[in-house]
Structure 1
Amino acid sequence: MSRFDPFTLFDLPYRVVKNHSLDATLFIPTHFLSRSNRKQRCPVMVHFHGGGFILGHRRYEPWFAQWFLDLAQAHDAIIIRPDYRLLPESSMADILSDVDYFWRWVQCDLLRIAEEHLWGVTPDLSRILCCGESSGGSLAVYSGLELSSILSGGAGHEAAISGCTDVQVVIQAVISTYAPLDLDVPELRIPRPRMIMGMRPPPPRQAEVLIRKYMQKLQQSGGIRTWQEPTPEMWELFLCMTQQCYFSRLLKEKGGGNKDMFNMVKRMAAKVRQQQNSPEGKMTGIVPVWIIHGMNDTLALSGKLGIGLNHKGLIGFC
């Protein structure tokens, strides 16, 4: 049995880059499909898959948390899970561009698509919960903090057109689990032999050889990856790149244009403290965020967020 059994899955393209289709999968509760004559408005749960920006895809079931599916069923919610380009073939700027296009697609096209299909349900875009684990958790936080600027459009984004800007898209809350949110922690900037997620990567010299071979191969192919199951070879590459701190280099190297993604949580925490100390004491313009991290995370600790971990390894502010 599949944990997706209570849902019917629909794949929809939201962007095409160099003839490569970037798709999103909609998980529609199957019991809605028999009600094609009644369009019920339902909350939306957007989930970005994890994999350290190098592994994973939108349909990879083993990395799809059961609690998320249970929550969707409990609230008769639609789940949307988009793919995005992966490192190291693409840059962080490419990934954030994909996320931007995804949200504009949600704003401009999703309601029309729902109207054209006999799903028996209409997405309520004013009630969105955005979640993700690992790299997906970073993208969930980015989405929650930057949504207004994303949807306002900008030069070079054809999705920001007349006719869809009046659609209200609101992320009501964000849940981010074991996500890299600060690149300045030792685990991400100081290469050293260590256990990662209970496994020991090859020694540093051997790890560097493996990484360089892959980088040389991708320079020749020049392709795009948006779909990668954690095969033994790719999992070893992931562990080697983590141990040798290639992720922080790749994420900083080309960055996200003028978007300082990995300082957003610090800025939000500072805004929270500022508003808490204001005479009114009211919180405005801040999306409720729940950041979940293990106290002894061997991969990407929260480090210097400036808001600290409590005794359970959780950070919460709203």
Structure 2
Amino acid sequence: MTVAPEQMKQEAPPLEPQAALGRFERVQFPYKTLNGVDFEVAVIAPKTVVASAAKQDSPLLVHFHGGGLVMGTVLEPFFISLWPLELAENHNAVIISPSYRLMPEANGADILDDLKDFWDWVHKDLVALVKSKWSHITINLDKIAVWGESAGGYLALQSAFLFPEASIKAVMPQYCCMYTDLVEYQNGGVDDPEAHALLDKFVAGLKPGSVRVSSPFPENLNLVLAINRTRRHLEFFGSDERLSLGHALQVAEKIPPIWVMQGTEDRLVKKEAMDQMVARIRKAHPETPLLYSVQRGDHGFDTDHGLTEPYIAEGVEFIHKYWP
């Protein structure tokens, strides 16, 4: 069953994450420019930390936004969950969230190139830039954890698999199994002429070299739903082998601990696909600690869940063994 736009609007999450974001101070820095478009990184720190005069050695939480790699923006209030914000507050951590190229203007290989450029920027420029804004805060790059919802979870996992130079200590992806070689994720499309026509029209109207890095909800939600309904993911993703789970598991020498979560009633990312992904990771890298949290709920079920939710508390206890 495909989620209709009106359903997503009616099922909009409560305001807890938006209220929590108000407890952070925010700045933005570009990590690169392409065709005249700045790729921004949102940087937020708890206001209690910013207001303190004490020197602060802050762990880092890196967030990748969801939206099917087609929509979304940095720290999108509609998508982001409450629990990582509370986690950051508990540890005086700084959160950063990068923009990246979106499909169909870009393909999956382009997005991976953005990831590489982002991680290079993190280890080269982030510490000095944060100090230029908040002189008493030092980012500890030995204490990096990453998370992301949906497509953002996919990018969090890809960061851990493909970029060992990122020095990630823990990964917390949510309902994220978008790999090109996961049969359960790619199958199930329907022949919907209206959805196909919408996608074809959008692609036909693209200008060569166009770059899009932000589409706040609900902008381009119709594209996400059309791609999901027709299962035309591979057409826009591309065939770069780096996009597949098989390649990622083959090249990754050491994978950081993973806490992954999934809803049993997810209509956008099937639980069966996540089961398949988790099983393949465990088989290829049995030495990697992996906690798989399955809960009742649809896509985004955890948005308003805080640290006191029992399964969140269990997951955070698991993560605390490795971060910060």
State the TM-score bracket (shorter-chain normalisation). 0.7 to 0.9
In structure 2, the residue matched to 1:40 is 56
Q: Offset of 1:10 from its aligned partner?
A: 0.6
Counterpart Cα distance in 2 of 1:238 and 1:76: 35
Counterpart Cα distance in 2 of 1:115 and 1:310: 37
Q: Offset of 1:9 from its aligned partner?
A: 0.2
In structure 2, the residue matched to 1:237 is 223
Counterpart Cα distance in 2 of 1:71 and 1:264: 32
> Which of 165, 175, 178 lines up with 1:178 in the alignment?
175
In structure 1, the residue matched to 2:264 is 295
- Which aligned segments of 4 or more residues in structure 1 are displaced greater than 4 angstroms? 264-268, 308-311, 313-318
Counterpart Cα distance in 2 of 1:216 and 1:42: 46
1:191 aligns with 2:189: yes
1:133-212 correspondence runs (5 A): 133-148=149-164, 151=165, 170-183=167-180, 184-192=182-190, 204-212=192-200
In structure 2, the residue matched to 1:201 is none
Assess, with a 3 A threshold, how the Cα gap between structure 1 residues 7 and 14 changes in structure 2: closer, same or farther: same
Counterpart Cα distance in 2 of 1:51 and 1:121: 31
Assess, with a 3 A threshold, how the Cα gap between structure 1 residues 223 and 310 changes in structure 2: closer, same or farther: closer
Gaps of 5+ in 1: 152-168, 194-203, 272-283
In structure 2, the residue matched to 1:217 is 205
Number of aligned residue pairs: give it: 269
Counterpart Cα distance in 1 of 2:293 and 2:175: 15
Identical residues among aligned pairs (%)? 26
The structure in which a higher percent of residues are helix is 2
Gaps of 5+ in 2: 1-17, 281-290, 296-310
1:251-266 correspondence runs (5 A): 251=237, 253-255=238-240, 259-263=242-246, 266=249
Residue 224 of structure 1 aligns with an amino acid whose one-letter code is V
CA RMSD of aligned residues (A): 2.8
In structure 1, the residue matched to 2:235 is 249
> Which of 39, 42, 48 lines up with 1:22 in the alignment?
39
SS in 2 for 1:109: helix
Query: Whose Rg is larger?
Result: 1
Q: Offset of 1:188 from its aligned partner?
A: 1.9
Q: Are 1:84 and 1:226, in contact at CA under 8 Å, matched by a contact in 2? A: yes
Residue 87 of structure 1 aligns with an amino acid whose one-letter code is M
TM-score normalized by the length of structure 2: 0.75
In structure 2, the residue matched to 1:278 is none
Assess, with a 3 A threshold, how the Cα gap between structure 1 residues 31 and 311 changes in structure 2: closer, same or farther: closer
1:88-103 correspondence runs (5 A): 88-103=104-119
Q: Offset of 1:231 from its aligned partner?
A: 2.9
Q: Are 1:9 and 1:28, in contact at CA under 8 Å, matched by a contact in 2? A: yes
In structure 1, the residue matched to 2:129 is 113
1:74-96 per-position Cα deviation (integer Å, ceiling 9, x unaligned): 11110001110100001111111
Counterpart Cα distance in 1 of 2:245 and 2:71: 20
TM-score normalized by the length of structure 1: 0.76
Q: Offset of 1:254 from its aligned partner?
A: 4.5
Q: Are 1:34 and 1:120, in contact at CA under 8 Å, matched by a contact in 2? A: no
Residue 240 of structure 1 aligns with an amino acid whose one-letter code is A
In structure 2, the residue matched to 1:55 is 71
Counterpart Cα distance in 1 of 2:136 and 2:292: 43
Assess, with a 3 A threshold, how the Cα gap between structure 1 residues 264 and 138 changes in structure 2: closer, same or farther: farther
